[in-house]
Amino acid sequence: MKLWSKENSSTSALVEQFTVGRDKEFDLLLAKYDVQGSIAHVTMLGEVGLMSKEEAEQAVAGLKEIAATIELGSFIIEEGIEDVHSQVEYLLTQKIGDVGKKIHSGRSRNDQVAVDIKLYLRAEINNIKDEVKNLFDLLIKTGDQHKHTLLPGYTHLQIAMPSSVGLWLGAYAESLVDDVELLAAAYQVANKNPLGSGAGYGSSFPLNRKRTTELLQFGTLNWNSVYAQMSRGKTEKVTSIGMSAVAATLSKLAMDCCLYMNQNFGFLSFPDELTTGSSIMPHKKNPDVFELIRAKCNRIQSIPNELTLLINNLPSGYHRDMQLTKEILFPAIEELKACLQLMQLMLSNMKVKENILTDEKYKYLFSVEAVNELVNKGVPFREAYQQVGNAINKGEFEYDLQQLHHTHEGSIGNLCNEEITAEMNKVLTKF
């Protein structure tokens, strides 16, 4: 069944298979939102006189019954029915008769799928934001617990200066603050109502688009009907940019964990049940979870480019190319949420080695501390640098790590985790 079918017309089975593609699979994710959009649209139709009050009430009641089947997980798109929109309208007509055929008045499938996707993305951006906040809280909590546990810091992957577990984890917490800024921007773009734009050129029916915006709890409308259609694809791309920022942070953190649990570093360890072994090497504890988080998140970072290539240079108006945004973006949303959840699981079970910097190989971490100590005693910096460098070259350099004294904001002695948390809370108000 196709909403656009006419008498004495048919579509080649091969063409139909090609054009439908994986759409039904992803339409099931939109079913809940398709019904929400239809309830708002029907309510408005009843208010402006395009349906009687009784018809609108009957249709809304039927749509709510369909919504209940979706919540129970029993909703399917039946064989021979083209998409979720057709399935919902078909079920409603089965329930309430010809009144169900009136619900498409003043709508096109173009604005119907556009509003479904906006509602879906708005909800999923919120879900991702919640998982990011959970990880953020864990990073801050674990960092506070280990704020006095010193780590080597690296530049060029060479031993550089003293760091700490608290400073390391706090860096990723603050990175997530900036990532949530991008998610908040994506939320604002998704939080605009395209319903009522029809096929992209409005309608001669006296629709009340402000009313459906209110009913669907959108922040505002996509006012221009042409742009409402142009926002399709753009909304997905902006969402993917926010997701890719989170993915970049996760990928880098996963890479650090792979390094730090390596035997040559040995800073971290994890329970056997969270690592994997080797088929021939009995000593192995492989960081498969971190490696897959890294791989999946690197792939997620490619999605803005993939969407750009899909939607680039299209003229205004709707194009079937937009169908493919779902199969690019929707699975990535699930993968990103899974990566966030698995990162939380791993870090919740992380064991940190104590007294790492007492190892002889880390003594040159304190060369800058020795230089600064001489400067504090009045020695010019360049001269102090030379003195310490000469001592290192002669093998005479020694430093007592108990003398470490960092006080400025964002240093190992002053993590500013409370300030970072305040920044995160500020960003969260934008949702």
How confident is the model over 162-220, as pLDDT tens digits?
999 999 999 999 999 999 999 999 999 999 999 999 999 999 999 999 999 999 999 99
Q: Over 50: is that where the pLDDT of 114 sits?
A: yes
The mean pLDDT value of the chain amounts to 93
What band does 275 get if pLDDT is binned at 50, 70 and 90? confident
Question: Strand 158-164 vs strand 351-352: parallel, antiparallel, or unpaired?
Answer: unpaired
Instruction: Report the length, in residues, of the chain.
Output: 431
% of the chain surpassing 70 pLDDT: 94
Q: How far apart are CA 67 and CA 89, in angstroms?
A: 12
Q: How many CA atoms lie within 13 A of 52 on its CB side?
A: 4
Band of pLDDT at residue 4, cut at 50, 70 and 90: very low
The neighbour count for residue 139, using CB atoms within 10 Å, is 26
Q: How is 147-191 classified by DSSP, letter by letter?
A: TT-EEEEEETTEEEEEEEHHHHHHHHHHHHHHHHHHHHHHHHHHS
* Res 19: pLDDT: 64
**What's residue 116's pLDDT?**
97
Q: Is 2 helix (H, G, I), strand (E, B) or coil?
A: coil
For strands 268-269 and 220-221, give the pairing: unpaired
pLDDT of 98 above 90: yes
Domains of the chain (ranges; CATH) run: 13-102 (1.10.275.10), 117-148+174-197+220-355 (1.20.200.10)
pTM: 0.92
358, 152 Cβ separation under 8 angstroms:
no
